[in-house]
Structure 1
Amino acid sequence: MNDTEKIASQINRREFLKGSVLGLGTVALGSLLNPLNAFASDDPKPIRTPHFAPKAKRVIYLFQSGAPSQLELFDYKPKLREMFGQELPSSIRGNQRLTGMSSGQRSFPLAFGKFEFKQWGKSRAWISDLLPYHTQIADDLCFIKSMYTEAINHDPAVTFVQTGSQQAGRPSFGSWVSYGLGSDNQNLPTFVVLLSRGREGDQPLYAKLWGNGFLPSEHQGVLFRSGKDPVLYLNDPSGMDRASRRRMLDYLSELHQEQYKHTTDPEINSRINQYEMAYRMQMSVPETLDISKEPDYIFDMYGPDSRKPGTFAYNCLLARKLAEKDVKFIQLYHQGWDQHGNLPNDIKVMAKSVDQASVALIKDLKMRGLLDETLVIWGGEFGRTNYSQGKLTPENYGRDHHPRCFTIWMAGAGVKKGITYGQTDDFGYNIVKDGVHVHDFQATVMNLLGVDHEKMVFKFQGRRYRLTDVHGSLVKGIIA
């Protein structure tokens, strides 16, 4: 009897997997290890190589969860100052669906904060004084001021931006990229997620936002936590050395292959791939996430919070390090932007928490020659209303959800520099030029990565799915 047979006779395979899964951290791991892996025979295969020459090698997505108000940050509307406190004309509001939080309002008074806007750079981009550091990179940014969505509440809206559907269960943006394009670094996950919070009391985030959906589980996002153990259960238990771990994985792989012969379940291969990634990450993660050797001028550039694990600034610095290591999709979520009340004070806190670090990331990538191959995205799930939710005073007001128009910015590989695309009306309520639907945005990002969004599909329950569902058109006006 060989060693494998001895192990198989001594331990039930199901119990073996159950006992070993926590020690290897496979629940948290989700990287594509080998882009040539075969999946179920009736599924379309991953494209493995881009459909055409990519403009972007990787994506860093700075997602501002809770929906930052475009009217306080980027979409300057002096009409709101002129008509402060007056009623939003019914001809402008039309028949828009309202949330339950403002549908009972009898009055919709227009709100404008005491924040000043100026035009910056050769591009003459409007930027609020809430974001003083952003003025330094005005000519590097591509603003899209005409984004829109159908989702009117946070959970379906965030899910829609991240997965292409308002219902849970679809693969996330990064998972599609992992599935289709594979990994450029076999020692780190293809898709990494980092979380931060600017203030307390905001909308929660769920693992479905970086989940693999119906794609093989190795494509789920890997959440890197702040603190001593960035990936839970990654380290070997006490008493097990690296050589012992290697032997165990080899035996486990043999058992998996035997089982695969009987069931042809592709998740068996995905599971062993996750074990192998965990093994390699034991060496690569500590090195990659060690910022102790960064020079002081880098910390000064990102700001004092960059020395504090779990902050947005710290995560931006990690994003740059992950980009250097060729991680393909780096997703940052920053919570705190849901401001239905006390907006003038709370948005100051949030803007300060992201302003310096967002700009530092662009400068840092540019300085290292990485910006030309990295696409950076900044924005939330929808916009905010031009009228106040609840009582309005110059010092205090709130804004409800507004799916009809919102602003994001992009920078780096593949997008035009120093432009503003799209336009809203004088009230900042409706799009009047070059609307960009969420599916259009997704299709364009995939295009910049060298992927035809209509051709990257996965068959599930008899239907072929894609990130953009059956929608999406390229936003050619922003592509360099």
Structure 2
Amino acid sequence: MAATTPFVTSRRNVLKMAGAGFGHLALAGLMGSLASKAAHAEVNALNPLAPKKPPLPVKAKRIIFLFMEGAMSSVDTFEYKPQLEKLNGKAGPGGGTITASRFSFQQYGQSGAYFSELLPHIATHADEFCFLRGLYTDTPAHPQAVVQLHTGSSNASLTRPSMGAWLLYGLGSENQNLPGYITINPPVAFGGASNYGSAFLPAYYQGSPITDSGVMPNIASVTPRDLERQQIDLIQDINHEEQAKPGAPEAIEGVIKSYELGFRMQDTVPSLLDISKEPRHVLDAYGAKPGLEGSFGRQCLMARRLSEAGVRFVEIRQPGWDHHTNLHNGLIEQSRRIDQPIAALLTDLKQRGLLDDTLVLFGSEFGRLPTSQGNDGRDHNITGYAMAMAGAGVKKGFSYGGTDELGMAAVEGRMHINDLHATILALMGIDHEQLTYRYEGRDFRLTNVAGVVQQQIFA
């Protein structure tokens, strides 16, 4: 019997075998990843709005964004700065006169969060809020700042997809008969439709605009249902012919699917937006009544109904916060319109168990300075301001970051708009660095080439 050559476990042999093993593992991982992407692409091609499994743990399933357009003054609403009272009338660090708020503040809840007398109803939910008190942005001009808040970029040379469009692209829709992204009373100025558009993403990811009375212009129709189906079929035949031509733009596919979604929506949306079917005590709680006075209340109630039905991203807008003049009376008027409805929305969501998986975001494109402008106004502040979150995934009764003693600049827990977007995407189960779309030879994302997830606020 021949002698067996003993196997020598040398350092070289170990490294050689390990290297081969790692190569097999890498190849297997690569093939698995490619197969997964191919299967994912096939599913998306058939139904791009189908629900997708988020790559990260999901803390929030949907978002309601309460957008206070024009820049709400944090130092007059929920940013109490005692030094403003002590230094009232003295020269400010950047020029101007330090001006204390004319509204009294007090603490609420176990968290002891401060709210001014302008927001007594919202203040009762103090322990639901997670305040982001160290925000800053890039430009003090409303048009650019509003667009950056919604799209991640203020670059006018290339319109970017909106935050809601990115969410639909990454997650799909929970209800195939409803838009996954609805904006109520959307901005007319300050970027207009680009704030809810899909830009270079396919058209079916864009937001669907609705008026504050529940009218959805893009699906309004008095045409009989069967005749309308015939009309759409004719248009779709033309679209398919155009799509089959060499060099046809990819956007045609988005148009085709948008028509089909619009047709399906007509069976669901009108009844969903009819808030008159709500009990009287619910309407009264929101202050949802006809006319301008009940506009924001109607929006909040519609937002709850839409979210409950499976709309992934709902934005509602209250304009009129640009108080360079008439600050005192203007804040009283604006706060009166939003205070009761927002409090009612939080109460309603909580009672229905929806706040457990709905993230509510409340704030503006930037803040206002602690110094005066004219006799009764405050100028724009992009170096330090606050926004608030409530609901799914965030710590309750918690504050993260902060501005200096005057509320002039963020000095701790600083969060750029890119960081805010990265954090919101993470709460929804999305890695902001992986959520990309290739356009003109470059991979774009909501957070550009920046963005840090602030996990300190996660519950």
For Structure 1 versus Structure 2, the TM-score category normalised by the shorter chain is 0.7 to 0.9
Number of the residue aligned with 2:402: 423
Compute the displacement of 1:236 (Å): 4.2
Number of the residue aligned with 1:282: 266
Provide the C-alpha distance between the structure 2 equivalents of 1:35 and 1:249, rounded to a whole number of angstroms: 26
Compute the displacement of 1:265 (Å): 3.1
Q: For the Cα contact (< 8 Å) 1:316–1:358, is it kept in 2?
A: yes
Of 378, 384, 388, which residue of structure 1 is paired with 2:368? 384
Cα 1:344/1:308, change in 2 over 3 Å: closer
Cα 1:367/1:440, change in 2 over 3 Å: same
Identity %: 40
Secondary structure of the 1:38 match is helix
Provide the C-alpha distance between the structure 2 equivalents of 1:322 and 1:205, rounded to a whole number of angstroms: 25
Structure 2, gaps ≥5 residues long: 1-40
Cα 1:228/1:456, change in 2 over 3 Å: closer
Number of equivalences: 415
Q: For the Cα contact (< 8 Å) 1:227–1:310, is it kept in 2?
A: no
By relative contact order (CA 8 Å, sep 6+), the higher-ranking structure is 1
Provide the C-alpha distance between the structure 1 equivalents of 2:282 and 2:51, rounded to a whole number of angstroms: 38
Q: For the Cα contact (< 8 Å) 2:182–2:209, is it kept in 1?
A: yes
1:163-312 map, 5 Å: 163-168=151-156, 169-195=159-185, 206-227=192-213, 229-232=215-218, 234-237=220-223, 241-263=224-246, 264-303=248-287, 305=289, 311-312=295-296
Number of the residue aligned with 2:12: none
- Normalising by structure 1, what TM-score? 0.82
Of 421, 424, 428, which residue of structure 2 is paired with 1:449? 428
1:55-103 CA distance string (max 9 Å, x none): 11111000110000000011111111111111013xxx3xxxxxxxxxx
Number of the residue aligned with 1:78: 82
Compute the displacement of 1:289 (Å): 0.4
> Does 2:336 match 1:336?
no
Number of the residue aligned with 1:119: 107
Compute the displacement of 1:121 (Å): 0.4
Provide the C-alpha distance between the structure 2 equivalents of 1:54 and 1:427, rounded to a whole number of angstroms: 37
Compute the displacement of 1:271 (Å): 1.2
Aligned-residue RMSD, C-alpha = 2.4
Q: For the Cα contact (< 8 Å) 1:171–1:212, is it kept in 2?
A: yes
Matched letter for residue 412 of structure 1: G
- Normalising by structure 2, what TM-score? 0.85
Matched letter for residue 202 of structure 2: P
Which segment is superposed worse, 333-342 or 276-285?
276-285
Number of the residue aligned with 2:147: 159
Structure 1, gaps ≥5 residues long: 1-33, 94-106, 392-396
Secondary structure of the 1:455 match is coil
Matched letter for residue 154 of structure 1: H
Compute the displacement of 1:167 (Å): 2.1
Matched letter for residue 64 of structure 2: I
Matched letter for residue 190 of structure 1: G
Q: For the Cα contact (< 8 Å) 1:163–1:172, is it kept in 2?
A: yes
Compute the displacement of 1:226 (Å): 3.7
Provide the C-alpha distance between the structure 1 equivalents of 2:166 and 2:293, rounded to a whole number of angstroms: 29
Secondary structure of the 1:180 match is helix
Provide the C-alpha distance between the structure 2 equivalents of 1:349 and 1:192, rounded to a whole number of angstroms: 27
Number of the residue aligned with 2:22: none
Provide the C-alpha distance between the structure 2 equivalents of 1:295 and 1:45, rounded to a whole number of angstroms: 33
Q: For the Cα contact (< 8 Å) 1:35–1:48, is it kept in 2?
A: no
Compute the displacement of 1:257 (Å): 3.0
Compute the displacement of 1:261 (Å): 2.6
Matched letter for residue 234 of structure 1: A
Q: For the Cα contact (< 8 Å) 2:136–2:382, is it kept in 1?
A: yes
Greater radius of gyration (CA): 2
